[in-house]
Amino acid sequence: MRVSGEGLVLGVALDAFLGDPKKWHPVAGFGRVASVVERSLYGDSRWRGVVHTGVLVGGAGALGVGLEAVARGRVAHALVTAGVTWVVLGGTSLGREGLVMARVLERGDLEAARGRLSHLCARDPSELDADGLARAVVESVAENTSDASVAPLVWGAAAGIPGLLMYRAVNTLDAMVGYRNPRYERFGWAAARLDDVVNWVPARVTGGLVAVCSGRTAWRVFLRDGKKHPSPNAGRCEAAFAGALGVRLGGVNEYGGRVERRPEMGDGRAPEVRDIGRAVRLSAVVTFAAAAVIWGVR
């Protein structure tokens, strides 16, 4: 296993300038393969889910090992690392979607905003007003700063190209099957738990970087409120963002008829539409800070 700090940083730059590939996105291709494998292996069983997750994540790791074997020289390895990093990152597209939501809400088109919320999260938007939608977007940007940007870079710095691909495989599978519903309660258990494990360190790195980039309040709220969230990882990111932005996150969320009452994080006011742009800018700063740390360490 080899790690190219230059390749990781170049991949961040590619994502910043280009965003996600417009066509033939490899992550979407992985999703289609995962669906085919699911049809072959599905059963209301944790063990079948373990096999499903193991086959797909192991396959992604094997592909990464193969790419490292092909990219023998330092320059070739850096370029391949950059390409893979660009593919697995999603920070720029996350920010763009957040800004689209902000523009739609600024012109007062609640129906259009409710229709777009599914691009960012699975929350039921039907009863949300503008401020409720703004809170959903800010929380999604906060949580996904880790998932889309910092976590891939952490795993790329730790395990090279295989780490990048295996992380994105785990995270994609969690988004596909990691739900607490009758179909996936048991089958998706392995993907959901593995996603918790691989995001444990990156979520805390993200919260720490938010604090470094924003100041003492973010650090205090990160330490105080991050553990209140039902997710072992999302709360760390959301609490740090709440402190940095001076807002209060958390509250009542509805997911397909299931209502969750989450503890509030932060001491400020409720989020407003204008806070979406602030969250997007902070997310970008944190991503570049993560790249700078990797550059300095490597």
Residue with the bigger pLDDT between 21 and 45: it is: 45
pLDDT reported for residue 258: 67
Give all strands (DSSP E) within the chain, no chain letters.
249-255, 258-265
Helix (H, G, I), strand (E, B) or coil at 59: helix
pLDDT tens digit sequence for 197-224: 999 999 999 999 999 999 899 999 999 9
Average pLDDT of the residues in 9-34 = 92
State how far the Cα of 103 lies from the Cα of 101, in Å rounded to an integer: 5
pLDDT reported for residue 255: 65
Residue 289 makes CB contacts below 8 A (sequence gap 6+) with 209, 212, 213
Helices (H), 227-273: 234-245
Supply the mean pLDDT for the chain: 93
Helix (H, G, I), strand (E, B) or coil at 261: strand
Say if residue 94's pLDDT is above 80.
yes
Average pLDDT of the residues in 123-143 = 92
State the burial class of residue 270 (Cβ atoms within 10 Å of its Cβ: 0-12, 13-18, 19+).
Answer: middle
pLDDT reported for residue 157: 96
pLDDT reported for residue 34: 97
Q: What is the DSSP string of 181-225?
A: STTTTTTTHHHHHHHHHHTHHHHHHHHHHHHHHH-HHHHHHHHHH
pLDDT reported for residue 181: 87
pLDDT reported for residue 125: 84
Residue with the bigger pLDDT between 24 and 76: it is: 76
Average pLDDT of the residues in 120-142 = 91
Q: Scan for tokens 């100041």, then name that residue.
A: 215
Confidence of residue 22 (pLDDT cuts 50, 70, 90): confident
Radius of gyration of the chain, Cα coordinates, nearest whole angstrom: 19
Tokens of 172: 């994609």
% the chain with pLDDT above 90: 83
Nearest to 46 by CA among 189, 257, 248: 189
pLDDT reported for residue 259: 66
Kindly provide the b/e burial profile for residues 16-47, where b requires at least 16 CB atoms within 10 angstroms of the residue's own CB: beebbeeeeeebeebbeebeebbeebeeeeee
pLDDT reported for residue 280: 98
Nearest to 290 by CA among 166, 205, 204: 205
Rounded to whole angstroms, what are the CA distances from 95 to 101, 145, 249?
10, 9, 19
State how far the Cα of 38 lies from the Cα of 26, in Å rounded to an integer: 18
Kindly provide the b/e burial profile for residues 97-120, where b requires at least 16 CB atoms within 10 angstroms of the residue's own CB: bbbbbbebbeeeeeeebbebbeeb
Lowest mean pLDDT among 33-47, 122-136, 163-177: 122-136
pLDDT tens digit sequence for 245-297: 999 998 867 666 666 778 899 999 999 999 999 999 999 999 999 999 998 87
Residue 236 makes CB contacts below 8 A (sequence gap 6+) with 203, 204, 206, 207, 222, 226, 229
Average pLDDT of the residues in 235-252 = 94
Average pLDDT of the residues in 79-86 = 97
State how far the Cα of 212 lies from the Cα of 103, in Å rounded to an integer: 29
Residue 198 makes CB contacts below 8 A (sequence gap 6+) with 151, 155, 167, 170, 171
Average pLDDT of the residues in 151-177 = 97
